[in-house]
Structure 1
């Protein structure tokens, strides 16, 4: 297969900055900015809290730089349950403020900030106990709805056993006596995080991945910036800033040690594992939520698949690559099969992913009972750390972090306005949904394909399709992953900051969890599509494919191991796509 001709180098323009483009020209421009400017705020970490903090600061009029050692959403923010939800179980823990806050954020995402990325999703709560369970659960859901859960989605609906089975025919008749349907919302977490990052760049922030913090700058007793290393070419530079905000999630303690400052809180990592199975393996019109002895288990509709999870166990091993074990997968299968008429088996699994929740340590020995509240602290003059919380409330966390950094900033700090700032692709989205048929006809695509693109890119769909001008073959699907068009891969490299094959297969698309081959069958084609943008030669293409294939094999191997230690040893045996140092050693 021929490699696409590399694109001619581009000079960054105001127009490219206005779309929040994260391409190679912007990457070089931003490196020069890092070394030559003094920023108000430097944000460390490209997860959802980090990019949210960069967006919050930039829209307050601050000069902002964000650096991420790996890729946007490469940690926890691509490995969640992919829900924007209030957290029903937090009502039982009497965390009413957290639930109310989360429901407000969910509402904002659905209606104003990201309607193209965040969609309503229904869940069935099966009832198995007579007399007490229905009124008890209904009371909790009424509180949920009253706090804001039924503002832009339907409220709870009570069902008989027959009604519940019509909604979820895959359930055993003996598994329930009735049910209650309620609504939450879902999103592709990695795509949402990346879009927040691009929106921050749109408002002037430097957003640079493969840029590792290897040290902190000091002036007397205060932190005055960071020293960073480009993980692609090894260059180093110093980035000066009035305030540094540590948004590194489960790496918070590591960065704290590197800074030489005493932390105000500790972060505990809890591993959550999910499996992905084909949609036809569970016949249902709704998601499902089940109680377990530890927490809850979700069965979540996900395009042509179901996501089933999660686990909740301590993790003290490699933070970059948490590994799912056979025991984790068996736990999920055992629990969901207690209610399914046709049990799921290991052979049904298309994908598996494991992520780490950054929980505040010290509140409970059980990770499932640790608070999802977040904490913000000015741990030293010029250095703020934020940790804890949940994906849904990232915007609130970001605002709190910037407020805390205000002590180190000159002048009056403007209030947060991100509740009024739509993400890139949101403006014009609804009109384009109504115009999907015309847009499809114009580009020779099926309308369902255009609707799929709209739910991934929103009104940026024109920019995506424009990449195929003069090369209509790019509007064809990837043969081994037909849910995605070839142009989406090129766009991921040219506009969305994908620098490696794994960035495109695991985060810009979700091919790595949505197909049984986990991306291996299309790895070379995707690498060649990226090569045309990133200037890779045949040797680099072969290296990218080799590294990705080794990663998939290591993950498969880890998922056959009985415990965390064995699984971790298998997973960390795979080579890294990026050349990262251990800055703490």
Structure 2
């Protein structure tokens, strides 16, 4: 990587200056990506590693939408086996193995689930499906490290999951998928892309498109932190805005090439000791699939699947949503959970394609709709409704790399000087050196003065970049202390989030660079003060600015708590949007 991977405040300013410089026509980008989620950052990495000049604009923070609010699973999609879509499952399982073994072994790890069986006839049926699931994974090149399924009976379940009700069960099947901290995956993608030369600018909103005749030649944008307007010119603009896809398309006017609808999924976080089990759980409900997922010293319980047409930036979980999950998980448990057991709640929106791609976006001079060049898969669609614009929507976290590849393939389809995608051979930042550093964990503990548990924690979040954190602690020993109010994290991680990971506000640190906002009963309202002091020192905040940031975060938490007491989506949304964004 010829350039720095640090997404620091100076780097953001430099990126904005470089992007604004494209307006003169002397430095037009090959590809400009709109959207800083998993697909957008994946597309930026795919394009820049092909030798293209690349920019990325995100209106809020990296992964601030869907890509920080998923079930945090990297999986093949068991439900597609019932649809006989074996090719799709195999593709997703290959991506799972690739992430686990090559691209992000520091972030992705196997996780075991129990699939409860309630009728004798289910065992051969479900067992055959999971045998096929394992076989499709083994058919790929990257299946190392994921154990195969195993049949269990009630006596075994009582031993390994004593809080699971076995009275209505005939047994269970244990199988494995993988999990990832979704927001950290996005940040590492963005930093890796920056290391190859991509210009990454957050808190920058696209407000319109630049056109030359029928062709899109760039965008108009606003730096939300200064109010400065800029124009960014590019040969192709790739819209990877997720649930904001329709809004971006409306900037062109006319028909929508892709009709994207938002589906809300919520998750609860409860302490690990509330459910005694060595493994996670997965079960069907009448509306969705219920997951109980191990997450460090916590469980993540999800998810719902309901239509959402209210605020896209801050989807709200209602009390009805929470009650639904508690009701269904309690059907599996001997000791029921209640609202007092819930540490955190988060809601995310899935961008679902409402129908087939339309004929075009915008209006032709003679009033005729233009044709659309489109690539459709079961999970995602890529379209080029007008010259110079590519749209990508749908899909899931596991196959982000395939989506990114398809989008860039379409963006450069008329160019013969661009190499094919090769991101399957590009490890993300932190992957290199992870195994070596893991083998040195005890030595790292002795050298740094941190206990081995904290070293393991850092390895699981930063991988081979752990030396950068330890260097911070060596230079400033006070940063080796646990963050007051969130002792699972070190003070150094707050500073590093600002100096290397593009964090600009308390929300960025407490909700995405760390998971303090959902992993503590107080939702981070204790840790916020120490975090604000650390960030103020890095970003040059004065006392008034520091207090504004704290006040905003506290208002955000209170608005979320209020929304989670409301019975309807409308009431929950009104409560949540009462705390506006600080930018």
Band of TM-score, shorter chain = over 0.9
Q: Deviations along 1:154-212, whole A, 9 cap, x unmatched?
A: 11100111112222111112141111000000011011111111111011001110011
- Report the alpha carbon displacement of residue 411 of structure 1 after superposing the two structures with TM: 4.5
Task: Indicate the residue corresponding to 2:560 in structure 1.
Answer: 555
Aligned to 2:362: none
2:454 is aligned with 1:438: no
Q: Which of 392, 404, 411 is matched with 2:398 structurally?
A: 392
Counterpart residue number, 1:459: 464
Residue 244 of structure 1, aligned match among 230, 237, 259: 237
The aligned residue for residue 89 of structure 2 is 99
Give SS of 2:287's match.
coil
Partner of 1:186: 179
1:94 Cα deviation after fit: 2.8
Mapped contact 2:395–2:403 kept (Cα < 8 A): yes
Partner of 2:579: 574
What is the TM-score with the length of structure 2 in the denominator? 0.93
* Mapped contact 1:149–1:184 kept (Cα < 8 A): no
Tell me the distance in 1 between the aligned counterparts of 2:255 and 2:30: 23
Match of 1:264 in 2: 257
Secondary structure at 1:543's aligned position in 2?
helix
Deviates more, 1:335-344 or 1:464-473: 464-473
Task: Please say if 1:145 is aligned against 2:134.
Answer: yes
SS in structure 1 of the partner of residue 474 of structure 2: coil
Which of 513, 518, 526 is the equivalent residue of 2:523?
518
| Cα distance in 1 between the residues matched to 2:388 and 2:159 | 58
Would you say the 8 A contact 1:375–1:387 is kept in 2?
Answer: yes
Deviation at 1:263, TM superposition (A): 2.8
Q: Report the secondary structure of 1:555's partner residue.
A: helix
Q: Which runs of 5+ in 1 are unaligned?
A: 1-13, 364-370, 579-585
Match for 1:33 among 7, 18, 42?
18
1:196 aligns with 2:189: yes
Corresponding position of 2:309: 316
Q: Which residue of 2 aligns with 1:469?
A: 474
1:149 Cα offset (Å): 6.1
Confirm or deny: 8 A CA contact 1:245 1:383 kept in the other structure: yes
Residue of structure 1 equivalent to 2:536:
531
Q: What does residue 223 of structure 2 align with?
A: 230
SS of the counterpart of 1:171? Answer: coil
- 2:62 is the counterpart of 1:72: yes
> Is it true that 1:205 corresponds to 2:198 in the alignment?
yes
CA contact (8 A) 1:359 1:372 kept: no
Give CA deviations for 1:359-386 in whole Å, capped at 9, x if unaligned.
11138xxxxxxx9610000011000000
Q: Secondary structure at the match of 1:276?
A: strand
Q: Write out the 4+ residue segments of structure 1 that deviate beyond 6 Å after TM superposition.
A: none
Q: For 1:356-505, list aligned pairs within 5 A.
A: 356-362=349-355, 373-407=379-413, 410-505=415-510
The alpha carbon displacement at 1:75 in A equals 0.1
Is structure 2 residue 329 aligned with structure 1 residue 343? no
Instruction: Determine helix, strand or coil for the equivalent of 1:56.
Output: helix
CA-CA distance at 1:78 after TM superposition: 0.2
The residue that corresponds to 1:368 in the other structure is none
Does the aligned pair in 2 maintain the 1:425–1:459 contact within 8 Å? yes
User: Within 2, Cα distance between the matches of 1:379 and 1:165?
Assistant: 56
SS in 2 for 1:173: coil
Note the C-alpha offset of 1:268: 1.1
CA distance in 2, matches of 1:228, 1:531: 27
Say which is worse superposed, 561-570 or 287-296, in terms of deviation.
287-296
**How many Å apart are 1:97 and its aligned residue?**
2.3
Q: CA deviation at 1:107?
A: 0.3
* Partner-residue secondary structure (3-state), 2:345: strand
User: In the aligned structure 1, how far is the partner of 2:168 from the partner of 2:491?
Assistant: 44
Match of 1:87 among 63, 74, 77: 77
Query: More displaced, 257-266 or 211-220?
Result: 257-266
> For structure 2, which runs of at least 5 residues remain unmatched after alignment?
22-26, 357-376
For 1:112, the equivalent position in structure 2 comes to 102
Residues 1:549 and 1:540: Cα distance change in structure 2 (over 3 Å):
same
- Superposed CA RMSD in Å reads 1.3
- Which TM-score applies when normalising by structure 1? 0.93
Deviations 1:44-95 (A, max 9, x none): 0000000000000000000000000000000000000000001112212333
1:334 is matched with which residue: 322, 327, 339?
327
Matched, 1:50 2:40: yes
Are the aligned partners of 1:149 and 1:155 in contact in 2 as well (CA < 8 Å)? no
State whether residues 448 and 473 of structure 2, in contact with CA within 8 Å, keep that contact through their aligned partners in structure 1: no
CA contact (8 A) 2:109 2:179 kept: yes
What is aligned with 1:291? 284
- Aligned partners of 2:55 and 2:199 also within 8 Å: yes
Query: How far apart are residue 261 of structure 1 and its match?
Result: 5.6
Task: State the Cα distance separating 1:575 from its structure 2 match.
Answer: 2.0
Deviation at 1:398, TM superposition (A): 0.1
